[in-house]
């Protein structure tokens, strides 16, 4: 199976298992899915405090390690949620994740979103948080510095960014004492984010791609009539039919061949095996070029619930005009 090499030489798997069960799966369902994934061969597990299942996943990991799987075989990642951006709360979040996951260190930890707010996993779009704020650079850098301290202490091995944009990166990277090793971004054939992807590659930051299948089980709050289904992309269909593989395998293989680490989610053994087998699919330059033409700037995880008072639309979260709206007007 392909691997990736981080800036310090650490080698990580080229595919992982996600644990965001949305509203459809219980914590025990997700934990059982992780158990199956480990049996199939996955060795990267992407977690987050907000998913509400790290304690269940932790029991699964502990069982696997006690059964003979070495801890250093599994790359375990978690994330700091939006209500824990204050430096002291960053530590609280990481320590709680370590307790729940029953680990003495996280292989990677990300700041989940660059926006502070108090919304939980099941927030509705109409529940605008009065305390939500746009990206405020000095505040974010204090959060990042707190994560850097945890790297110094060994509680976190690699620090990561998530859901950032190129304008934000241009502010963040010059001020980092410890450069991010990884960055999570929505990444599938109809949302390729070429400029962001290349900016991360140019700065030796490994891309981790969430929603690699186009997030068919995403919450209702993130669905709009303009959404495009990746599985219906003509290039995906043509490659799948010609190669005799599934459309989902084409999407995962595209991400891997591009250089990302996709983190699909499933609790079903046959799907987990199918997606894992996509690591052996080597797409041709012609196929990669055809899939490049599938890009529709089709963002599926829009982040509506994180909007602050006065924001016009979810597009404000993503700096669509190349500027960062709002933050200069907020005291840090």
Give me the active site residues, please.
51
CB atoms within 10 A of CB 270: 9
Residue identified by tokens 């992780």 is 34
CA distance 34 to 46: 10
Residue identified by tokens 């930890």 is 109
Token pair for residue 201?
A: 């590659």
CA distance 87 to 292: 40
Which stretch of DSSP H or E encloses residue 44? strand 44-46
Query: Cβ(271)–Cβ(232) under 8 Å?
Result: no
First to last CA, the chain: 46
CA distances from 141 to 171, 175, 202 (A): 10, 8, 21
CA distance 212 to 94: 26
Query: Cβ(326)–Cβ(316) under 8 Å?
Result: yes
Beta strand spans in 50-202 (E): 75-80, 108-111, 159-162, 182-186
Token pair for residue 63?
A: 């069982």
Query: Cβ(160)–Cβ(108) under 8 Å?
Result: yes
CA distance 100 to 54: 6
Q: How many CA atoms lie within 13 A of 235 on its CB side?
A: 20
Chain center to CA of 60:
21
- Tell me whether residue 112 is annotated as binding: yes
Token pair for residue 183?
A: 């960055």
State the binding site. Answer: 112
State the binding site for substrate. Answer: 112
């Amino acid at each position: 199976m392909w691997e990736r090499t981080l800036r310090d030489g650490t080698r990580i798997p080229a595919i992982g298992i996600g644990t965001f069960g949305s509203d459809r799966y219980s914590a025990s369902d997700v934990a059982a899915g992780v158990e199956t994934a480990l049996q199939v061969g996955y060795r990267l597990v992407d977690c987050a405090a907000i998913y509400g299942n790290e304690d269940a996943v932790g029991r699964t990991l502990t069982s696997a390690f006690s059964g003979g799987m070495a801890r250093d075989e599994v790359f375990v990642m978690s994330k700091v949620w939006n209500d824990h951006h204050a430096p002291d709360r960053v530590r609280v979040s990481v320590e709680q994740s370590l307790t729940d996951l029953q680990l003495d260190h996280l292989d990677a930890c990300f700041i989940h979103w660059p926006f502070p707010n108090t919304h939980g996993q099941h927030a509705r779009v109409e529940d605008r948080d009065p305390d939500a704020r746009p990206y405020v650079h000095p505040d974010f850098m204090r959060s990042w510095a707190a994560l850097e301290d945890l790297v110094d202490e060994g509680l976190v091995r690699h620090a990561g960014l998530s859901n950032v944009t190129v304008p934000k990166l241009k502010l963040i990277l010059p001020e980092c004492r410890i450069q991010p090793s990884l960055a999570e971004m929505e990444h599938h054939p109809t949302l390729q984010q070429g400029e962001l992807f290349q900016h991360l590659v140019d700065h030796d930051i490994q891309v981790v791609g969430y929603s690699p299948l186009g997030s068919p089980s995403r919450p209702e709050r993130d669905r709009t009539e303009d959404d495009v289904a990746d599985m219906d992309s003509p290039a995906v269909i043509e490659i799948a039919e010609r190669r005799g593989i599934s459309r989902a395998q084409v999407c995962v293989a595209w991400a891997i061949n591009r250089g990302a680490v996709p983190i699909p989610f499933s609790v079903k053994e046959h799907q987990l095996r199918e997606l894992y087998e996509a690591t052996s699919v080597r797409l041709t330059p012609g196929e990669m070029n055809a899939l490049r033409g599938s890009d529709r700037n089709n963002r599926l995880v829009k982040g509506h619930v994180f909007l602050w008072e006065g924001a016009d639309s979810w597009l404000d979260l993503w700096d669509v005009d190349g500027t960062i709206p709002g933050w200069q007007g907020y005291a840090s």
